[in-house]
Amino acid sequence: MPMLDKWLLLVHQLPPSPPYLRAKILRRLKDIGAVALKKSAYLLPDSAEALEDFQWLLNEIRGEGAEGWVLRAEAVAGLSDDSIRELFRSARAADYRELLQGFENLAAEGGDGAEANLRKLRKRYGEVSGIDFFGAPGKNEVVSAMEGMEKRLKRIARQADYGEAPNDLKGRRWVTRCGIKIDRTACCWLIRRMIDPDAEFVFVDPQQYRHQTGDQRFDMFEGEFTHEGDRCSFEVLLERFQLENPGLRAIGEIVHDLDLKDEKFGRPEAAGIAAMIEGLALRHGDDLKRMEEGLVVFDALYARLGPAGGT
């Protein structure tokens, strides 16, 4: 935002009665983002919107029989522009701290009202960011906390839709389409290595398969774990099981680019992995054999990209 060197100053004289009037005016001044210079003098950066806000407030003040004035100023009570801007930043920084605490409390408590509370906090964030005229500290932390809470609630909602939490999915049959390639092979590796070491894999013709209770379908139409938006099935598994480290993230980017062919991440390893998976398909018509050798490929890739190998 460009540095402003003109300010709007609202000065008022409120009577002691009725007592609600002062509280009402103070609340309105806070809502529009004004900062106090003295008890009865408030500042906003000079803009058409700020002038309109002050004029509406001035009408309210005069409508209650009190007095008020709105003035333009280039210098205010000997304060520099930088010091005035810092007053605004400090006020919004306090608002962001309060918001961040609200998101932290929501994350800790959860509960049935979490969605409604998130909507309230999101609305409050919109109000605060709308009057953050000079980029106060703390905004990025609030945005991160808000996005994290939104993802968490979406994940909980998806788990409710499927009726089971990921931690309950041990020792199940994991079903996918036959003729596995990059995404399904990577999913098999992730399930076997990170989710369910005792997983039983079944490779089926989707036209003939009939779903059985307890089967966990992946990378299949109407599957429990399949493409969502622009994410491949491997990425969906990572999110749903809250699996996160640099190696898994890098593998997810490779699988994404090869499966969706959108070159979103441009990982240099992608071409080599594609050649190896194609080679496995040429070597083996049997999906179980493809999978077993594919596990070794992804073990090696994770050893290179994971915590031990670095990126």
Distance from C-alpha of 38 to C-alpha of 160, rounded to nearest angstrom: 54
Residue 162 scores a pLDDT above 50: no
For the residues 31-59, what does the mean pLDDT come to? 93
pLDDT tens-digit readout, 1-15: 444 468 999 999 988
Strand partners, 71: 9
pLDDT of residue 93: 97
Tokens of 182: 């990059």
The bridge status of strand 35-38 relative to strand 41-45 is: antiparallel
188-225 core/surface letters (b: 16 or more CB in 10 A; e: else): bbbbbeebbeebebebbeeeebeeeeebbbbbbeebbb
| Least confident span in 45-49, 149-153, 167-171 | 167-171
Domain residue extents for the chain: 7-79, 83-162, 166-305
Mean of all residue pLDDT scores within the chain: 88
User: Which residue, 277, 265, 266, is CA-closest to 301?
Assistant: 277
Helices (H) and strands (E) in the chain, counts: 10, 7
- If 0-12 CB within 10 Å is exposed, 13-18 middle and 19+ buried, where does residue 121 land? buried
Residue 246's SS3 state is helix
pLDDT tens-digit readout, 169-206: 677 899 999 999 999 999 999 999 988 888 999 999 98
pLDDT of residue 208: 92
Binned at pLDDT 50, 70 and 90, residue 296 comes out as: very high
Task: Give, in order, the Cα–Cα distances in Å from 7 to each of 45, 47, 87.
Answer: 5, 8, 13
pLDDT tens-digit readout, 209-250: 998 888 999 999 888 899 988 899 999 999 888 888 889 999
Q: Say if residues 284 and 290 touch (Cβ distance below 8 Å).
A: yes
User: Which residue, 183, 187, 221, is CA-closest to 204?
Assistant: 221
CATH, domain 7-79, list 1.10.8.60, 3.60.15.10, 3.30.70.240, 3.10.20.310: 3.30.70.240
Name the region of 138 (left: φ>0; alpha: ψ -120 to 50; beta: rest).
left
